[in-house]
Amino acid sequence: MEYEGDLVSLFGDMPDPRLDRKKLHQLRDILTIAILAVICGAETWDEIEDFGVARYEWLRAFLELPNGVPSHDTFNRVFSMIDPEEFENRFASWVSMITNKLQDHIAIDGKVLRGSGNRSKGKDPLCIVSAWAATSDLVLAHTAVESKSNEITAIPKILDLLHIEGCIISIDAMGCQRDIAQQITNAGGDYVLAVKKNQRTLYEELENFFRQAENINFEGVVHDCHKSYEENRGRKEERVLYVTEDIDWLPMKEKWSNMKSIVYLSSQREVDGKKTCEKRFYISSLPPDAQLLTKTVRNHWGIENNQHWILDVVFNEDKSRIREKTASRNLATLRRLGLNLLKRNAKKASLKRKRLLAGWDERYLIQILEGIF
């Protein structure tokens, strides 16, 4: 079975944090069982042990298991000791090897693991900051911070893990920082950064400029515009995006690396007869192409629907009560590894159904694991 060697080699030489005299189980056996179990639906250390026991004879065909299947306490203890940053870096290296071409759009956003916190002890939940490829629909890299407010420190680490030359990087307002814009352009990428009131002066300048332009229907303002309309399940939404490269007037223009355009998106929604209007502003190193920017802004939120939502609904990530930070962080890596493997499988089925089938049918589980490298 050729695939097992590939799977084991994925993290087979991970540094083992345990003392030699306490190693009843090989680290590669522990990692392999955990990865397979998460793909097949396991969500706790007990369930990972149950998977190993249920599939013991099958696992023995390619794992040594000198002392049988590790207990749930062993899984818990080992994943509480493994260096999570090393685990995340190897994940990112693996994804870079399986993607055939450079991604054209990468969205970066944070997701809080709500069950990992403990309010009674004053411990904030972990926030996992991820990079997601809009084209291949894969998690490219991720890392963790102690709270969502610390995303600023995580984003540069994520960017360092990626090859972003020729890519568009979109980030919500938390990542709208001059150093981050500089890092992206230094690496040969372009940025689309949401501007909110955490950058108050910049936000107010953009708001004032576009309000005046809108009042005169953009007459005399050199710009590009793109309109889109969507109607779905009783919700109607009309979006109008304006972009201009007329930014010589902007006082802080030179402080933002290679800034070429500013963007205004007006979104009007009607749900069950109730109308709302939302206005968003962006800065970008891209030229003023309204259609491209509309697509980029629209695709950015794919990270919510195609990653965050799936991790909560299919993998029950928000409901996980593993509060030990290192273990919780490493389990988050296992989920994202499982998510990528399931998405790469060509079978036309929901991810929930794929997980069930993998647990029921070893032949299908082998299909999911084929071609890891």
pLDDT digits (tens, 9 = 90+) for 132-143: 999 899 999 999
* Least confident stretch, 225-229, 267-271, 358-362: 267-271
Domain shared by 58 and 175, yes or no: no
Cα separation, 356 vs 361, whole angstroms: 9
Q: Is residue 15 part of a domain?
A: yes
Domain shared by 185 and 265, yes or no: yes
272-281: pLDDT as tens digits: 778 888 999 9
Domain shared by 165 and 45, yes or no: no
Cα separation, 324 vs 117, whole angstroms: 9
Q: Is residue 217 part of a domain?
A: yes
For residue 333, the enclosing domain spans 2-82+324-369
Domain shared by 104 and 28, yes or no: no
Domain shared by 67 and 113, yes or no: no
Domain shared by 124 and 73, yes or no: no
pLDDT winner (highest mean) among 1-10, 285-294, 340-349: 285-294
Last residue of a domain, one of 257, 279, 309: 309
Domain shared by 251 and 164, yes or no: yes
CATH of the domain at 239: 3.90.350.10
pLDDT winner (highest mean) among 16-25, 30-39, 318-327: 30-39
User: Contact 36/43 with Cβ under 8 angstroms?
Assistant: no
DSSP 114: G
Total domains present in the chain: 2
Domain shared by 119 and 229, yes or no: yes
Q: Confidence band (pLDDT; 50, 70, 90) for 10?
A: low
Model confidence, pTM: 0.90
Domain shared by 240 and 131, yes or no: yes
How many helices (H) and strands (E) are present in the chain, helices listed first?
A: 15, 9
102-124: pLDDT as tens digits: 578 999 999 999 888 777 777 78
Domain shared by 116 and 63, yes or no: no
* Least confident stretch, 74-83, 319-328, 349-358: 319-328
Residue 4 has a pLDDT of 39
Domain shared by 347 and 304, yes or no: no
Q: Is residue 316 part of a domain?
A: no
What tokens were used for 21? 């005299």
Q: Is residue 104 part of a domain?
A: yes
- Residue 119 burial (CB count, 10 A): 8
Helix, coil or strand: residue 144: strand
Domain shared by 74 and 103, yes or no: no
